[in-house]
Structure 1
Amino acid sequence: MRIWHFSQIFIVLTFIVCVTVLLRREGPECDCADSVQKREFEEQLLQTCSPGNFSVRQDALGVLDVPYNYLLGTPNAKKRFLSVGISSVKRQKQNYLLETIDSVFSHLSPEELDEVLLVVFLANHDHSLNLNTAQEIKGKFASAVDAGRLIVVSTSPKHYPLLDGLKRNYNDAPERVKFRSKQNVDYAFLVNFCANLSRFYLMLEDDVSCAHNFLTRIRNSIATQKTSWTTITFSSLGYIGKLYHSIDLPKLARFLLLFYDEMPCDWLLDHFHRSKAQPEIIRVKPSLFQHMGTYSSFQNNQNKLKDKEFMEVVETFGDSPTASCFSNIEAYSDNVADNVCFVGPNFFWGKDVTPSSHFTMVFREPVNLDRVTIITGSGDHPGDILKSGYAQLGRHKVTEDGHETCKDFTNIGDFHDGGFTYNSRNSSAGKSVDCLRVRVSAAQEHWLLIQKIGVWIRK
């Protein structure tokens, strides 16, 4: 006896339904409302049965056809380097949106302003609130709108999925479930809108302040990534400072909509990068964005969270040429080698230091060194200095054990009391350098903390 496969049964049933609809369309018409609704349904069903109406690229991977209301500005044909997305709702006690917009623009150079597009999605379901907020934005940032640097959009509440009576995961109160579920949809509509506007997309909240030169530091962080990535974060708080490839935004929009009623947005964002084979978040320190609000958009609860790793103005130590860092010393916690490659308060802290240990900085482009200063240990850990070691300059890049390094190294001096200083002004040794390496020459009981490596370029 032949057993029919489910797909065969489905094809036969679909054929029967399509034939039935075609036959019924030939019958007498009725002007009643039920008949009209039935004909509309039948037409939709016929479209479903017809070939050629489905495209994986557009229907499954493309930008969602969400109807947006353009309140201020419109996209132009020029793709920017970065689009910055902010979703905002009106708070009852205090609003921070205008301050956030001002912080974004005021912390960009005149040249950088042309590389950034700021998109504000007003998510109030009361359209009059959106219109009023848009007028407030226009009153202060009309020049940014006219220059094509600021767009404000919204959409109708009828495009939202069900928000009431949702299941109470994590035993959240119904009001909390509704709030976080709507917030997921807000962000989905925002990232969907930004999908074709730039190469990269940065997510912010509507109550943050920015660090100086944040775009330059984002650009440098992108340049130093050696493997493919989905998410880089420049903050330790919530949805603030999450960076994505814009090509991933349609997928992110669908991801947020698919699980909108399951969990908070920041949890979903963590699941998103894992689902794209990035097991751990890439965290760049110091943080570039700080939470400045006091009252939450949820029931005006107080929210005084602050990012302890935020630095608005970073103290410079050297010229900070773009580089990557690695070490064969096991790092403690998140005090990894790359911390030293970026300007900020973070450091490398490793354990099990042996005579074969090294710390290597690889410059993206060859540099002509003027001087080098390396500081080990810290006020909190004065014993974790390099007791015995020396520095080397490297040339001729090669790849070894998955790391870019140099083939030839030359010794340039020893460490003394945990510090090292090198001046190449009167020699040619500092020309066309590809690598800078710290070598350990004797085992030590204490761990090794490399606090700063200052590299000054010959002008």
Structure 2
Amino acid sequence: MKDFLWILIVIAIAMVFPILFFIRENPFDTASFLSLQEKELVAWQRARMQISSRRTNHLETFKDMQKNSEPFKNVNSCILIGSAPVKKRLLTIGISSVQRPQRSYLLDTLQSLFYSSSLSEQKHFIVLVHLADPDPMWRGQMISNISTIFKPYIQASQLVVINMPLKSYLPLKKLKKNFNGTTAHVAFHSKRNMDYAFLMNFATNHSDYFLMIEDDVKCVPGFVTQIATTVSAWENKPWVTLEFSPLSFTGKLFRTRDLPSFVNFLLLFYQEMPYDCLLSHFHDLLMQQTPVQFLPSLFQRMGNYSFFEGKFNSLKDKEFEEDDISSPNNPAAFIYTSLKATNDSVPMNAYSLNKNFFYAKSAEVGSHLTVVLDSPAEVFRVQVLTGSDLKGENQLKEGQIELGYASSNQINDCDDYILLGLLVNGILNKQVLSNKSGKKVKCVRLLVTATPSSGIIIRHINIWVN
């Protein structure tokens, strides 16, 4: 923290004049969107934050920072999915996602965002995702899943996915070791600072406000209306961010006109400390001494593992109000399967609401168990549980759930399926985001995508309908 000790303001004033002179004589370009006034602001920030008894030549330090900023000249994010909206929206919801050692929650987070918003609310926001992991296989899989599951929102310009090539990043070697962090930890948080900077830079011109969330959160229903109402009440009041969750970077709302300054702040100090700490200092610099927080919180963490090395992290928002999930409906249906069952196990056991289960002694790629509803229905939630309830044995490790819609060509099946989601640890628990072309769901199909090494137990297929 020595590099960030606040000292007498008179020393800062004494130093800022030569820095401002340096800017006018040697204009720097940390990023292409900085005006001269913004450069002066950043220089002032640098003067306030870098003065210490161990640093006397601040002008040279500032020149070094400029040299390190060269890679950011004329860089543009690559759009992987969708296209930027032509019409400016009220809100951009930003998510930066990287691969996690345990599992990814990104698809769940996206589902929660859209499911928790009405059709009228969805017209006022765009979701922007930065796939920031350098692993091309992970990015390819996420692109495929997002493109399939969220196709209606992509077509409506409500979802855009971007990536910034790693060659555009500032150096991630020989970084400063602050807070007694390991080399790997410092490199991880330094890169995350730049991940967020690229995300926010892209979001600057597409809406009036920008909401930052992590990629492992769920939302309360109607969160967009609650944010819009709060913004309306605070429109003429001074604030840097409004906070709708105390969790890390989640639920922090910016005016988009403030994003360029914060983007450059993240880039200038990317190796100094993590983004949430930098945001706190950014508040101080812009004279917001006290966080502006609203309760109850609108967002809650889903997972129990952090980004970095998959370490266990039980941090939850105690102010988040959970929704009670009612019992499933499981309307009348016919069940058929290509799985090879034992003699005393019947497929209907998987759909019953009692403690019975269906056991298949073997399964192959392409095997399925399909629920065909007697009458097509408005399904809003599906839950599939595989494996033993106590020991978790005989799970279907690799499988997916698909929804089929009514078709005049099929009586006991559907010929038009879309992916709902993938099994994770043998389980799927998903909200159904929208009905395809207004059609009602007729079929729910469990599909085996990799041959299991042993038999599988399908404990429950639960359906909620309106």
Query: SS of 2:261's equivalent?
Result: helix
Partner amino acid, structure 2, of 1:237:
L
Q: How does 1:119-138 map to 2 (within 5 A)?
A: 119-138=128-147
Query: SS of 2:260's equivalent?
Result: helix
Q: In the alignment, is residue 56 of structure 1 matched against residue 66 of structure 2?
A: no
Do 1:210 and 1:312's aligned partners in 2 also have CA atoms closer than 8 Å? Answer: no
Structure 2 residue aligned with 1:158: 167
Structure 2 residue aligned with 1:325: none
Structure 1 residue aligned with 2:312: 302
* Cα distance in 1, alignment partners of residues 74 and 165 from structure 2: 13
TM-superposed deviation, 1:133:
1.1
TM-superposed deviation, 1:66:
2.8
TM-superposed deviation, 1:199:
0.5
* Cα distance in 2, alignment partners of residues 64 and 212 from structure 1: 41
* Cα distance in 2, alignment partners of residues 259 and 58 from structure 1: 16
Structure 1 residue aligned with 2:303: 293
* Cα distance in 2, alignment partners of residues 267 and 117 from structure 1: 27
Aligned with residue 88 of structure 1, among 93, 97, 106: 97
Query: SS of 1:95's equivalent?
Result: coil
TM-superposed deviation, 1:139:
1.2
Structure 2 residue aligned with 1:175: 184
Q: 1:93 to 1:275 in 2, by over 3 A?
A: same
Partner amino acid, structure 2, of 1:129:
W
TM-superposed deviation, 1:56:
2.6
Structure 1 residue aligned with 2:110: 101
Aligned with residue 263 of structure 1, among 266, 269, 273: 273
Structure 1 residue aligned with 2:412: none
TM-superposed deviation, 1:213:
1.1
* Cα distance in 2, alignment partners of residues 80 and 142 from structure 1: 20
Which is higher, the Rg of structure 1 or of structure 2?
1
Aligned with residue 247 of structure 1, among 233, 237, 257: 257
* Cα distance in 2, alignment partners of residues 96 and 76 from structure 1: 26
Q: 1:270 to 1:220 in 2, by over 3 A?
A: same
Partner amino acid, structure 2, of 1:309:
E
Q: 1:120 to 1:64 in 2, by over 3 A?
A: farther
Q: In the alignment, is residue 188 of structure 1 matched against residue 188 of structure 2?
A: no
Deviation sequence 1:261-304 (CA, Å, 0-9, x none)? 00111111111122112111100000000011122221111122
Deviation sequence 1:182-203 (CA, Å, 0-9, x none)? 1111111111110011010000
Identity %: 41
Partner amino acid, structure 1, of 2:112:
S
Q: In the alignment, is residue 79 of structure 1 matched against residue 88 of structure 2?
A: yes
* Cα distance in 2, alignment partners of residues 293 and 273 from structure 1: 28
TM-superposed deviation, 1:65:
4.1
Partner amino acid, structure 1, of 2:109:
T
Long gaps (5+) in structure 2:
1-16, 29-33, 43-71, 325-466
Partner amino acid, structure 2, of 1:242:
K
Do 1:64 and 1:250's aligned partners in 2 also have CA atoms closer than 8 Å? Answer: no
Query: SS of 1:71's equivalent?
Result: strand
* Cα distance in 2, alignment partners of residues 58 and 126 from structure 1: 35
* Cα distance in 2, alignment partners of residues 132 and 61 from structure 1: 42
Q: How many corresponding residue pairs? A: 269
Q: How does 1:361-380 map to 2 (within 5 A)?
A: none
* Cα distance in 2, alignment partners of residues 146 and 57 from structure 1: 39
Partner amino acid, structure 2, of 1:284:
F
* Cα distance in 1, alignment partners of residues 96 and 35 from structure 2: 30
Deviation sequence 1:139-175 (CA, Å, 0-9, x none)? 1101110110000000111111111221111111111
Aligned with residue 242 of structure 2, among 189, 207, 232: 232
For normalisation by structure 2, the TM-score amounts to 0.54
* Cα distance in 2, alignment partners of residues 308 and 299 from structure 1: 25
Q: In the alignment, is residue 141 of structure 1 matched against residue 121 of structure 2?
A: no
Structure 2 residue aligned with 1:283: 293
TM-superposed deviation, 1:118:
0.1
Deviation sequence 1:24-51 (CA, Å, 0-9, x none)? xxxxxxxxxxxxxxxxxxxxx9x99xxx
Structure 1 residue aligned with 2:216: 207
* Cα distance in 2, alignment partners of residues 209 and 263 from structure 1: 27
Structure 2 residue aligned with 1:113: 122
* Cα distance in 2, alignment partners of residues 120 and 59 from structure 1: 28
Is 200-209 or 277-286 further displaced after alignment? 277-286
* Cα distance in 1, alignment partners of residues 74 and 88 from structure 2: 20
Structure 2 residue aligned with 1:423: none
Partner amino acid, structure 2, of 1:155:
M
Do 1:188 and 1:256's aligned partners in 2 also have CA atoms closer than 8 Å? Answer: yes
For normalisation by structure 1, the TM-score amounts to 0.55
Query: SS of 2:309's equivalent?
Result: coil
* Cα distance in 2, alignment partners of residues 64 and 85 from structure 1: 23
Do 1:288 and 1:312's aligned partners in 2 also have CA atoms closer than 8 Å? Answer: no
Partner amino acid, structure 2, of 1:56:
L
TM-superposed deviation, 1:224:
2.3
* Cα distance in 1, alignment partners of residues 266 and 184 from structure 2: 19
Do 2:38 and 2:261's aligned partners in 1 also have CA atoms closer than 8 Å? Answer: no
Query: SS of 2:310's equivalent?
Result: coil
TM-superposed deviation, 1:313:
5.1
